Amino acid sequence: MGSGAGAQFETGRDQSWFEPLLVTKLLPPSASSTILDRPKVMAFLNAEPIPLLTLAHAPVGYGKTTAISLFFNELRKNKIYAAWLSIDEQNRDGKNFLAYLIASLAAAGLMLKDFQSAARSKLRQSREDVVRSALINHFAEVGEPIYIFLDEYEKIDGYPAGDIVSFMLTYAPKNIHFIIAARICPSLSLGILRGRGQIRELTVEHLRFSAAESLSYFGLDTLVAEKISSRCEGWPAALQMSRLWLEQNGTQAGCALSSRAGSDVAEFTDYLMEQVFSALTDDLRDVLLSICILERFDAELINALTGRADGWEIIGAIRARNLFINVIDRDLHWFSFHQIFRTFLVEVLHRRMPQEISVQHIRASRCFASGGHFTEAVAHACLSEDRAWMSELLSAHSGWFRCVHQGLDAYSPLPEWTASHPGEVPEADFITAYICVQTGKVARGRMIFDRVSAIVTDDVVGQEIVLSGRILDYLIAFYEDRVIDVCALNQLHAEIVGGIAAPIMLVPSQAHWPVTVPTIKGILKTVFD
């Protein structure tokens, strides 16, 4: 990295114990079903000159991801720098987003050694403004075209990560091209970009299948294909479901399908999904309903949520039937359902087995936690609404103290959950208070802390949680610029190092991070620094 930019980042600490970045987010998903070439769409995306921003915005099911992934793959084949990031809610935090952006750029082949060292810790000790500016300077030094693909951008629009993208669009050098896919138009100063001729928009009208494309998608009698195509209104998701239904039921079923009554394409699509689902074996239907709560899954998660031991065979059966499944990594390890099909399955689950939903989320949370995917473990714990499991999970992973070493995004799903469940799981309130303080909301952090500390006593929650709260109280006081009682601090120090208390919160196992038993002064210094 030129100009000594790497000197801005602290990378001396061993980063090997940090929760890893998910490599599955650094490549586009690979659909199991047949993908029809879209020459007109590709010609539109490839038309010179390539603008600063190419924005694909359309509702779910219109093939935005498929279209831009075809463009991405073409660039990679031509040895052009192309970085991909599949965005989720965890990326809303600015440092988390920058860490993943750096990882995606490195995966594209850019030499980013110093940046990568900082990214492995999710930039915990780095300033966002320094990193984003250093990246832009590095882009300018590279000089060659760099394409940055951001899929499902709506998940970070309006959050700190979105502000970083806006900044980069404002100051990006001429060799940078952003390709962004979103379900709605994002807040990215589009009017200014349009006025400057720096944006190209791929919309529903571009993504909708033409009559000719629809006909080529079905190997049917022209009249029948035309009727089905008309019913689908060019919507790629409906066309895909129609094709799957015909593959399962034979071409003769096309006549009945083409005459299917219904008020609109959405109802037609619901009918198709019902037919596809009902044609499966009872065994496979049960598995799909068991795992549909997962945004991504592998064989281990299938086994954990179903109590089976044949997860890989199940994945093979799903892929063999082209059941709207995407491969989301090169190693064929992680998979996801198309959002429309997953939504359908979740609706069926809520209708048929609502009592199973909490249990499945707990199982998912346990499996993600055992696999080291802590943020997803917390997310499913929140969705389970099970206070006992939430408390167990947070305590076993060192509560708010984990944030000191791993960053705030480790607990990103918690603040929203705590807001609707105040005081129900004290560890969650402590974590939320810490997050508030670290994000500049000191008064709110104090309010949350005081509210829960009033009910936190040894006989209610245990000594280790009480002690954790006392430490957090000092930390908040520091940010409030209050005078700290040195005698009380020394007493707390003595309790810890003197063996009066040896809380789990302060003696995390090697499985979580390699630290020795620190003194309270050392803890506070780590936090304050």
Q: Which pLDDT does position 261 carry in this prediction? A: 45
State the virtual CA torsion across 282, 283, 285, 288 in degrees, nearest 10.
170
Q: Are residues 70 and 201 in the same domain?
A: yes
Chain center to CA of 366: 18
- Does 241 reside within a domain? yes
Q: Are residues 302 and 430 in the same domain?
A: no
Q: Which pLDDT does position 526 carry in this prediction? A: 44
Q: End of a domain among 260, 278, 296? A: 278
- Does 155 reside within a domain? yes
Q: Which pLDDT does position 336 carry in this prediction? A: 92
Q: Which pLDDT does position 153 carry in this prediction? A: 96
Query: Is it true that the peptide bond before 49 is cis, omega within 30 degrees of 0?
Result: yes
Q: Are residues 271 and 288 in the same domain?
A: no
Distances (CA, A) of 468 to 203, 394, 472, 509, 524: 52, 12, 6, 16, 12
Token couple for 273: 């999904």
- The residue among 396, 427, 382, 408 whose CA lies nearest residue 19 is 408
- Does 478 reside within a domain? yes
Going by C-beta distance under 8 Å and a sequence separation of 6 or more, which residues neighbour residue 268?
231, 232, 238, 260, 262
Tell me the C-alpha distance between 80 and 404, whole Å: 39
Q: Are residues 120 and 202 in the same domain?
A: yes
- Does 392 reside within a domain? no
The CB-based long-range contact list for 223-226 (8 Å cut-off, 24+ gap) reads 224/251, 224/254, 224/255, 224/258, 225/254
Going by C-beta distance under 8 Å and a sequence separation of 6 or more, which residues neighbour residue 316?
none
- Does 390 reside within a domain? no
Q: Are residues 331 and 186 in the same domain?
A: no
Q: In the chain, how many domains are there?
A: 4
Beta pairing partners, 176: 146
Would strands 176-182 and 146-151 be described as parallel, antiparallel, or unpaired?
A: parallel
pTM for the model stands at 0.72
The three-point CA angle 429-434-436 to 5° equals 95
CATH number at residue 310: 1.10.10
Tell me the C-alpha distance between 216 and 346, whole Å: 32
Walk along the chain (529 residues) and give the pLDDT tens digit of each residue. Answer: 333 333 232 323 333 333 578 888 999 987 655 566 788 899 999 999 999 999 999 887 788 998 999 999 999 999 999 999 999 988 998 888 999 999 999 999 998 877 876 776 666 667 888 889 999 999 999 999 999 999 999 999 999 999 999 999 999 999 999 999 998 889 888 888 898 899 999 998 888 877 777 767 665 556 666 666 666 666 777 777 777 767 666 655 555 555 554 445 566 667 767 877 888 899 999 999 999 999 999 999 999 999 999 999 999 998 877 677 888 887 889 999 888 788 889 999 999 999 999 999 999 999 999 998 999 999 999 999 999 999 999 988 888 888 877 778 878 889 999 999 998 999 999 999 999 998 889 999 999 999 998 887 656 667 778 878 888 888 888 888 887 776 777 777 666 655 444 433 433 333 333 333 344 445 544 443 4
CATH number at residue 182: 3.40.50.300
Q: End of a domain among 357, 390, 406? A: 357
- Does 425 reside within a domain? yes
Tell me the C-alpha distance between 302 and 314, whole Å: 8
Q: Are residues 215 and 203 in the same domain?
A: no
The values of phi and psi at residue 304, to 5°, are -65, -35
Q: Are residues 26 and 166 in the same domain?
A: yes
Tokens 């006392």 -> residue: 470
Q: End of a domain among 207, 226, 251? A: 207
Beta pairing partners, 182: 57
Beta pairing partners, 124: none
Q: Are residues 47 and 159 in the same domain?
A: yes
Tell me the C-alpha distance between 7 and 1, whole Å: 10
Q: Which pLDDT does position 8 carry in this prediction? A: 32
Tell me the C-alpha distance between 339 and 336, whole Å: 9
The values of phi and psi at residue 137, to 5°, are -60, -40
Tell me the C-alpha distance between 284 and 288, whole Å: 6
- The residue among 102, 108, 56 whose CA lies nearest residue 82 is 108
Distances (CA, A) of 134 to 9, 59, 138, 203, 262: 10, 35, 6, 33, 56
Q: Which pLDDT does position 15 carry in this prediction? A: 33
Q: Which pLDDT does position 269 carry in this prediction? A: 67
Token couple for 49: 């000159």
- Domain residues for the domain of 226 are 211-278
Q: Which pLDDT does position 458 carry in this prediction? A: 59
The values of phi and psi at residue 182, to 5°, are -150, 155
DSSP letter string over 308-328? -S-HHHHHHHHHHTT-SEEE-
- Does 172 reside within a domain? yes
Q: Are residues 469 and 423 in the same domain?
A: yes
Q: Are residues 149 and 270 in the same domain?
A: no
Q: Which pLDDT does position 498 carry in this prediction? A: 58
Q: Which pLDDT does position 477 carry in this prediction? A: 86
Say which amino acid occupies 406: Q
Helix (H) or strand (E) holding 445: helix 442-453
- Does 383 reside within a domain? no
Q: Are residues 116 and 55 in the same domain?
A: yes
Q: Which pLDDT does position 187 carry in this prediction? A: 87
Q: Are residues 433 and 493 in the same domain?
A: yes
